[in-house]
Chains A and B, each alone.
Chain A
């Protein structure tokens, strides 16, 4: 479903702030794979996701989604294949627009925007049904502005928006990192549910080692712009957080330096 072939990216090459964010990143995802991504600060986790999303173009290598080479496609043209949820709850939604308008924008992802009216009554019913499944009471506030919602509500809504048009690939960039533990757990539950129901292929970055092992069928670990560990479902089931840390130290030759990493 996703083929990342030896991509590399250096930011600000030739300057004092030069950063080799991705050195030789290589990853293949099967349809239905739900992969959790872990790694230290600056390991290249978000850069890899952004490379797939097209926030920037890679220097080397190629990226294909479901057999389509997207390496040179701009961000907005790749959007039709991708559902995205960001770390910052502010990023995924348009704060000055209403809940239903945001959903309507997401419902048209990858489709031409015409001069037809931006939202139909038929859609509203669909959105109401979908919002009910979030159990946040948002179905009664559909014309409320997004700016009035809490971070957790916004992330839940962004998840719904990302899956409203079934994406080929769901990209989750530490989407629970800015939430309190209780809300984070809820949003993760929702993530699992939506991925399972829609049979989605997903990449999820997390700083929580336990979540990394608990969720998904595969875990990869990144270090210095490369994937240094790839753990499949069976190995995952047997692993504990301590084992994972040991494996990391062995594979990278260094201690894990993620200051936000949660081991519990």
Chain B
């Protein structure tokens, strides 16, 4: 086990982490703010990648491709939102339906091919993995950090506005929100759109970074997103109270996730086992609050029993 190898792999892990951190911020909007588990993201991240790949290979500017990917991602969120609110389908199932449909749509976008290459040699890309160890402005980590910061600032502003507050109220207590005159259905749809827009934007960045879009690049994305959200909360929850800092914690959570993955791979884990490992880790972290509550009740009962005796 060569430690130099690990060091060499770290910049790549970090930039991947920052990209997935952007995606995880999208997941945070639905999972934490709207209190909806949205599985659309597995599809919409690939949609963003596919849209960006096709646009760039047909000569479109790479930044414009990001914007278009964002908008197309919003459309995916709109579909899930309408499934959920207009058609009364439970949110989790609505997301699964859209995700499934997006598989076909993503193939269509990529001209019925499972993947599309976007070579950094041929096109002027915003970020590319080949510069990941360069000490220059070309290094993708710089631009990715700037994009993350811009997204956090914009979201901080948005969720502080009257409309943003009404979305937070919708997720916190829908009954209360409606009693205050808030259209909770519309808010949920918009939240899903915003979330999937950001996820697709991350997909577009990921495509440029890795040099290709793949129809299955989003498999398990929701779990990685949740892992980032949870790691961010566990590590920084006590210190980061401000909303903007909470979003930053999500991004850092994704970076930590990819760094840890890099370490376990370096220790000799088979790449094929990664998804299982991720699922188990997320399941464990999701279980902790449940176990904590159980433990608290049983210790309280024990105390009461002792007091009675």
Does the CB pair B178–A79 fall under 8 Å?
yes
Which residue in A86, A96, A110, A114 is a CB contact (below 8 Å) of B162?
A114
B163 contacts the other chain (CB 8 A): yes
Main secondary structure of the interface of B (DSSP, over half): helix
Residue among B161, B162, B163, B178 making CB contact with A75, cutoff 8 Å: B178
Q: Which of B157-196 contact A (CB under 8 A)?
A: 158, 160-166, 168-169, 172-173, 175-184
Q: Looking across the interface, which residue of chain B has its beta carbon closest to that of A108?
A: B162
With beta carbons under 8 angstroms apart, the residue of B162, B173, B175 that contacts A113 is: B162
Q: How far is the CB of B290 from chain A (nearest CB, A)?
A: 19
A91 to B175, CA, bound (A): 7
Among A64-115, those with CB < 8 Å from B are 74-77, 79-80, 82, 84, 86, 90-97, 101, 104-106, 108-111, 113-115
Q: Does A53 contact B (CB under 8 A)?
A: yes
Q: When the two chains form their complex, are residues B177 and A94 in contact, meaning their CB atoms are under 8 A apart? A: yes
Contacts of B92-147 to chain A: CB distance below 8 A: none
List, in ascending order, chain B residues with CB within 8 A of A108's CB.
Answer: 162, 180-181
Is A13 in contact with chain B by the CB < 8 A criterion?
no
Pairwise interchain contact B162-A53, C-beta atoms closer than 8 A = no
- In angstroms, Cα B180 to Cα A41, docked, is 28
User: In whole angstroms, how far apart are the Cα atoms of A104 and B163 in the complex?
Assistant: 12
With both chains docked as a complex, state the minimum distance between the C-beta of B166 and any C-beta of chain A, in angstroms. Answer: 5
| Tally of contact residues, A, Cβ under 8 A | 34
Complex alpha-carbon distance, A77 and B180, angstroms: 9
Q: How far is the CB of B169 from chain A (nearest CB, A)?
A: 5
Contacting pair B173 A95 (CB below 8 A): yes
Q: B168 contacts which chain A residues (CB < 8 A)?
A: 94, 96-97, 101
Query: How far does the alpha carbon of A117 sit from the alpha carbon of B157 in the complex, in Å?
Result: 8
Cβ-closest chain A residue relative to B161: A115
Q: Smallest Cβ distance from A177 to chain B, in angstroms? A: 17
Given A95-B173, A96-B172, the answer on whether A101 and B178 have CB atoms closer than 8 Å is no
Residues of A within 8 Å of B166, CB to CB, are 105, 113
Q: Which residues in B have their C-beta under 8 angstroms from that of A92?
A: 176, 179
- Decide yes or no whether A126 CB sits under 8 A from chain B: no
Question: Are B169 and A76 neighbours in the complex by a CB distance under 8 Å?
Answer: no
Bound CA span A161–B175, Å: 14
User: With A114-B161, A114-B163, A117-B161 in contact, is A53–B179 under 8 Å at CB?
Assistant: yes
CA distance A108 to B176 in the complex (A): 13
State the CA gap A161–B165 with chains docked (Å). Answer: 16
CB-defined contacts of A75 to chain B, threshold 8 Å: 178-179
In the complex, A29→B184 CA distance in Å?
30
- Is there an interface contact between A76 and B184, defined as CB atoms closer than 8 Å? yes
Contact A118 B179 (CB under 8 A): no
B residues within 8 A CB of A115?
Answer: 158, 161-163
- Taking CB as reference atom, which chain A residue is nearest B165? A118
With A94-B169, A117-B160, A118-B161 as contacts: A76 and B176 at CB distance below 8 Å: no
Q: Residue of A at shortest CB range from B172?
A: A94
Query: Nearest residue in A to B171 (C-beta to C-beta)?
Result: A96
A43 vs B177: C-alpha distance when bound (angstroms): 27
Q: What B residues does A110 contact at CB under 8 A?
A: 181
- Do residues B162 and A76 form an inter-chain contact, with CB atoms below 8 A? no
Question: For A97, what are the chain B residues with a Cβ–Cβ distance below 8 Å?
Answer: 165, 168-169, 172
> Within 8 Å of chain B (Cβ to Cβ): is A116?
yes
Question: CB < 8 Å: which of B165, B173, B183 contacts A91?
Answer: B173
Q: Is the CB of A95 within 8 A of B165?
A: no
Chain B nearest CB, measured from A171 CB (Å): 9
- Bound together, the chains give a CA A94 to CA B175 distance in angstroms of 9
A73 smallest CB distance to B (angstroms): 11
B165 touches A93 (CB 8 A): no
Cα–Cα distance between A113 and B173 once the two chains are bound (Å): 17
B162 close to A95 (CB less than 8 A): no
Beyond A75-B179, A117-B160: 18 further Cβ-contacts under 8 Å?
A76-B178, A76-B184, A79-B179, A79-B180, A79-B181, A82-B179, A91-B176, A94-B168, A94-B177, A95-B172, A96-B172, A101-B168, A108-B162, A109-B181, A114-B161, A114-B162, A115-B158, A118-B162
Please name 26 pairs of A and B residues whose Cβ atoms are closer than 8 Å in the assembled complex, sorted by A. Answer: A75-B178, A75-B179, A76-B178, A77-B181, A79-B182, A80-B181, A84-B179, A86-B175, A91-B176, A94-B169, A94-B172, A97-B168, A97-B169, A101-B165, A104-B165, A105-B165, A105-B176, A105-B177, A105-B180, A108-B162, A113-B161, A113-B165, A115-B161, A116-B161, A117-B161, A118-B165
Residue numbers of B with Cβ under 8 A of A are 158, 160-166, 168-169, 172-173, 175-184
